[in-house]
Structures are given as C-alpha cells and as structure tokens.
Structure 1
Amino acid sequence: MAPVESYHMIGLMSGTSGDGLDLAYCEFRLEEEKWTYELISYDTIPFPEALEKNLKGAHLLNGLELSLLDVLFGKWMGEKVKFFVSGKKIKVDAIASHGHTVFHQPDKGLTLQIGNGWALHKAAGLPVINDFRTLDVQLGGQGAPLVPIGDRLLFSAYDYCINLGGIANVSMEFAGLRLAFDICPFNLLLNHYANRKGMPFDKDGELARQGKLLPEVLKKLNNLNYYYIQGSKSLGREDLDPFFEILEEEKHEIADILHTLVQHYAIQLQLSLKPIPERKAKVLITGGGAFNTFFVETLNQVLGESFSILSPSIELINYKEALIFAFLGVLRLRGENNCLYTVTGASRDNCGGTVYGL
C-alpha cells in the first residue's frame, strides 16, 4: 500500500467583490490515488477602510501607485497570516494566495493579481505560491476559472459546482472532460446597486424580493454578446460596461434593478446546466450568493424538478475557493497540473504559480 501523503496549507482568497480576505487552513491527504481534504480553521479578515478603497479603485491607479499597493497588500496579508498561525500554533507547509485581481484581459495576454509574493513571504515567514493565472494566459487560455481542478479531485460527488461570488461560474464533467466557464456577473452588480441604497449588500435578497420585473431590461440583458460566445470564456470587472449601459439607460428603482438581475442570473444559470436523464442532477452552490435566499428560491423555480440544489456547510459556502487555492498550491509544489485546458482554452494543461521562499 502506498504511503499517505499529507499537506498542511493556508489558502488566501481576495475575491472580485473586494469585501475582505478569506483565509482557510486545510489539510490535504493523498491515499491510494484519491485526494481528501479537511477544512480545519478559517477566518475572514475585513480590509482596513483605506486598503479596501485602494483595492476597489486599483484599476484607476497610475503605475507607481499600483506597484506600491502591490507590495503593501502583500505585506498586509503576510502579517495577517503570521498572526493567525501564531495564535493557532499550527504547522503550515506553504501559503497559496490568489491575490486581488486588478486587470483581466486574456485576449491581450494580460491578467494581473496584486499581493506581492516576496512581501507576503517575508511578512509571514512561510513559503508562498501566487500568480496562478499568468502561465495559462500565455498559453492562449483565459487563465480562468481555476477552481475546476479542485472540483474534479475534491468534489466529484456533485454534477455541477457553482460559485456565486463577484462573478457566477460553473464547473462540470462532460464526456470525460472537465468543462467550466464564467456564466454571468453576480455580486459585482448586486452589491453595486445595494451600495446605492447605503447597504453593503442586499441581505437575503430582501430588497430584490420587494422589486418588480423590468421586462425590457431583462430581454436586453439576456441578449448581450457575452452569452453568445461559445467555448472557454471569462468575465472581469472591465467587462461590465454593457450591463451598466442597459441598467442605466433609463431611471429605475433600485429594488426593480435588483429583482431583474436576480431573474436574469437564474435564467443564465438554467441555460448553462443540462438535466441528467436517469436522475436528478446534484448542484453544489457556494460563495456569498448562496446566502441570497431570494435568488436561491428563484433558481429552484427556474431549474425545476430535474435538479437538486444541495446546501453544504456554511464554512464550505464561505471558504471553498480559499480551500481550493490551497489545493492548487499543493499541486504546484508537487509539479502536477493545476489548470485544465478544457476549461481555459489554453494549448495544454499546465502547472501555474510562482513559488517564493522554497
């Protein structure tokens, strides 16, 4: 019998929504060619007000300002990890950090996640793996999504894995291949309009529930060019202008905009999922959007009886992406592919990530 291999990792995730740093301390075990995981400890660390403002506006900074923010953010993350590790008195093999996405334009060979690796390494005193996307982009891929390799190896019990973060994306197996893509925006737009009402987000989707459907707006949203792209595709913050043009074309009540977005998202998810003939398809939903009760109810109605939406633990909803980035770090340390060409459209599978301190 082959020996059990074990890795203790910290995964860091700063999502597109920009609301804080998710930190997940995990153990991954490889036994008889099968991976298992344990989410041991976790925390979400709010960004200080000035840092949050700079991160959300990072795409507007000049070169020097962005470079300084890159180092500052890396150091800040490292300090938070060091405090977490010392407080828990835990053993850590390495940190795997997604970083904070500033630009994502794979058609131009560009994807940029800040959170300087050397600054993070020196502040934390631990090895670091970051910059998971650039290699794939240079191989002609989208550099996204990266989570599907984790879905395949850690969450194979589910037919569809959906993450509802700043962007909604899906991962699935089809004819022996892993397929995945960004479906539509999600919290990036919902939170933007909730902010206009002085709310950080629309808790439980209650404001959206109070609104009414804007049929013409819904029709225009569903006809956006993005939804006609075939194959690998991804969305970034800079791709939202067409959505804003439609939503801002006329003056609407915020509740009506949120209600219409919820309906739009549910329709786009339904179009992305195919029923399984012999049984109900199992759907795992994680990310902040899983707490949007009105959206989940709407999605249940739109999907119908052919699908079963399964509710994981609150911890998994909140920390699945951070956990999987920790797992991507394990694969990088092992020199194994952690990015799938069937998902990103790259010329081949690849092992992305830059290592610091090993």
Structure 2
Amino acid sequence: MSIYKVLGMMSGTSLDGLDLALCHLWESEGQWQFSIEATREISYEKALWEQLKNAIHSSEEKHDQLHLDYGFWLGQQAKKFIEDEQLEVDFIASHGHTSHHRPEDGFTFQLGDGQQLANSSGIQVVCDFRTKDVSLGGQGAPLVPIGDQLLFHEYDFCLNLGGISNMSFLKDGKRIAYDIGLANMPLNFITRKMGLEYDDNGKMARSGQLDNVLLAKLNALEYYRLPHPKSTGYEWFTSEIIPLIQNSNASDKDLLHTFIHHNCEQIALQVKEHATGKPQKLFATGGGALNQFFIDTLQNVLGDYIEVVVPNKELIAYKEALVFALMGVLRLQDKTNVLSSVTGAEKDSCSGVIFYPDIN
C-alpha cells in the first residue's frame, strides 16, 4: 500500500493566512483514506497582506514580481515547517492565492510561482490547479468537490464556509457544486474595520439586530439568480458588497448579525432546492464553521431534517489544504482531479503543473 506524504498549502479569499497541512493519503479497498499528521497556520504580516489584498489592482509588472516573491515566501514557509516538525514530505501541493478570477473572460490567476516555491523549499511542487479547467470553458472553481466525492462521500451535502460559501452534492450520479455566495468575506471586512481579526464565536453578531433594509438589498443581488455552474470571488465582493456596507447606517454588530442571516438564508435556499425530503446530513467546514452563531443560525434556517455536522477544529481549518494534497496525488497519478459536472468545462481534466527544484 503506497502512502503519499504531501504538504498541502492553501491561502483563501478571506486572507486569514496560509494553511499548511502534512497529509498522508492512501487507497484501501478502492476508497481513499487520509490522516492529517501536522498543521500550521501562518498569519500574513501587514505588508504582504496589503500586497495580496491589492494584487487585483496592481500593474502587470508589480503583479509579476509579487507572483515570484510570494512563491519564494511560500517555499520558505514550507521549508521552515518541515524542518521545525522534522517531517517527511514527498511533494508540495499548493493552491496559491487567487488574485484574479474571471472565468467568463477565460482568465484566472493564482499567485505563488511554482518554480520559486520548488527552489526555495527544495521539494517537488504541484500547483496552478485552476487554469486548465478555465481553458476548457469551465469556471475553474470550486475545486474541493473532488475531495468531497473521494474523502467525504458519506454526507449528502458538503458546505465550505470560507471567504465565500460553496457546496457540493451528488445528483443523478454526478457531483454538482458551485459557489453559493458570501460567507466570511463581509464578516472579516467589518471586524477589521473595528480593529479586530474576527468576531470570536460570532458573539458580537449574536448581540446585533437584523437590518431588514440591508437584508433585502443583499437578497436581491443578481448573482443569486444566475444558474450553476457558477463561481465568484473578490471582484464581486468589492464591486457589489463593499458599497452596501459603506452606505449602511447600521452598527457594526447589526451588520455582522444581518450578514450571517443573509448568508444562511441563501445557503438554505440552495440546500433545500436539492434536498430529497428525507433526513440528510450537511458537512460544514471552513472558518465559518468555527463561528457558533453562524452554525446555530444555519441549523435553525435549515430545520430539523437536515442536520449540520461540524467536525473537529483541525479538519474544519485544514480541509482545503487536505483536498489540494489529494489533487496533487491525482495529478501525479494522471487521474481526473477536476470535475466538469462541477465547473461546466467541456470535459473532466487532470489539472496542475509540476515543478522540480532547480539544483544548479
């Protein structure tokens, strides 16, 4: 039995930081199994956080330089983690950090140059998992559903509450997935405005009141009426959501309260549309699953026959890094790791670019 020892690396749209997870992956009786052996979360220093946040507005020259610099930085973080924890690693699977995502224009870009990452870590790298699917007419997102299908198939719905919310489920024998809309991005934007990293367990949001005017405007956003497959990102947030926050007279607590209710209403609408009517289980991960008010509100809106299952904190925080580790293994095995039923591409694909350390 071959056990792949893979360092999965993930930086999400919420800019919470870099997640590193050493994952062991193996097949047993035709099913993929996994264990998470070691983890680390690295917060971004202010200068790098600003660069990543503003990359979408950078000149081409500055963007190219950030791509190289960030790739080198990623490799340094990987090397330090491996040395500190004395880890055995076969290769690194890196998502990078999305700076541009416009699949309708055939364009997506993940910062973190693979060659720089390989050189500075000294380890083989698989990265750039989105571009090929976009070139095939797909959304290039979400990618995590391949992990839902191969690692978490016992759940009816897999919900990720990252910067944005997305879910996947099986329908007529095919895995379907798409970005529902908002999750932590507006919550983080509001708390940072308050000088806080996040709202601990949603305590401030719980103490707020619903702003029905803002809620109506959010629920009326055009994105929610688009058919799937669909995906969204920071561009949508900056153009459509930030102005609504800035033009609102609601207090910060009321804003947090209202956004969580909005998020949960939109998630529930999508889940109920695809639910079968029998008791079902929804597996919730991502940073939003650590927010108890978010989870309580979601369970309340979904009702009794759909149970929200929240796993341990390690899996909540590192599920995406785990799935990119799996995608890296599938890439090296030359097997499908991006599903066209999810992204809308012309066909399934085996995505990811392989880089080897330059030993010269």
TM-score, with length taken from structure 2: 0.96
CA deviation after TM superposition for structure 1 residue 83, in Å: 1.5
Q: Is 1:115 the counterpart of 2:116 in the alignment?
A: no
- Alignment correspondent of 2:258: 260
Alpha-carbon contact 1:13-1:321 (below 8 Å) kept: yes
State the AA in 2 paired with 1:270.
A
Deviation readout 1:198-241 (Å, 9 max, x if unpaired): 11111111221121111122112112111111120001100122
**Equivalence map 1:36-185=2 (5 Å):** 36-185=33-182
- The whole-number CA distance in structure 2 between the counterparts of 1:13 and 1:159 is 25
Contact 1:159 / 1:283 at 8 angstroms: preserved in 2?
yes
In structure 1, what is the Cα distance between the partners aligned to 2:248 and 2:320?
Answer: 36
Structure 1 position 297 matched with structure 2 position 296:
yes
Residue type of the partner of 1:312? Answer: P
1:310 aligns with 2:288: no
Counterpart CA distance in 1 for 2:103 and 2:163 is: 18
Determine which of 19, 26, 30 is the counterpart of 1:29: 26
Q: Structure 1 residue runs of 4+, over 6 Å off?
A: none
Cα distance in 1 between the residues matched to 2:241 and 2:64: 30
Q: Which residue of 2 aligns with 1:226?
A: 223
The answer as to 2:347 corresponding to 1:335 is no
Aligned partners of 2:326, 2:175: CA distance in 1, in Å?
17
Of stretches 151-160 and 43-52 in structure 1, the one that deviates more from structure 2 is 43-52
Partner of 2:349: helix, strand, or coil? coil
Distance 2:243 2:58 in 1: 24
Question: Is residue 19–residue 52 contact of structure 1 (8 Å, CA) maintained in 2?
Answer: no
TM-score by length of structure 1 reads 0.96
Gaps of 5+ in 2: none
Contact 2:290–2:313 under 8 Å retained in 1: no
Partner in structure 2 of residue 195 of structure 1: 192
Return the alpha-carbon distance in structure 1 between the equivalents of residues 248 and 165 of structure 2.
Answer: 26
Percent of counterpart pairs with the same letter? Answer: 43
Give the residue type in structure 1 aligned to 2:289.
A
**Residues in 2 aligned to 1:311 and 1:244: alpha-carbon distance in whole angstroms:** 29
RMSD over equivalenced CA pairs, Å: 1.2
Deviations along 1:173-214, one digit per CA (max 9) or x if unpaired, are 111010011111111111101111111111111221121111
Q: Distance in 2 between matches of 1:137 and 1:151?
A: 21
> Which ranges in structure 1 are unaligned for 5 or more consecutive residues?
none
Count matched residues: 354
Cα deviations by residue, 1:327-348 (Å, 9 ceiling, x for unpaired): 0000000001100001000000
Give distance in 2, aligned partners of 1:296 and 1:194: 18
Give the Cα–Cα distance (whole angstroms) in 2 for the partners of residues 353 and 53 of structure 1.
Answer: 27
The alpha-carbon deviation at position 244 of structure 1 amounts to: 2.8
Change (3 A) 1:307 1:118: same
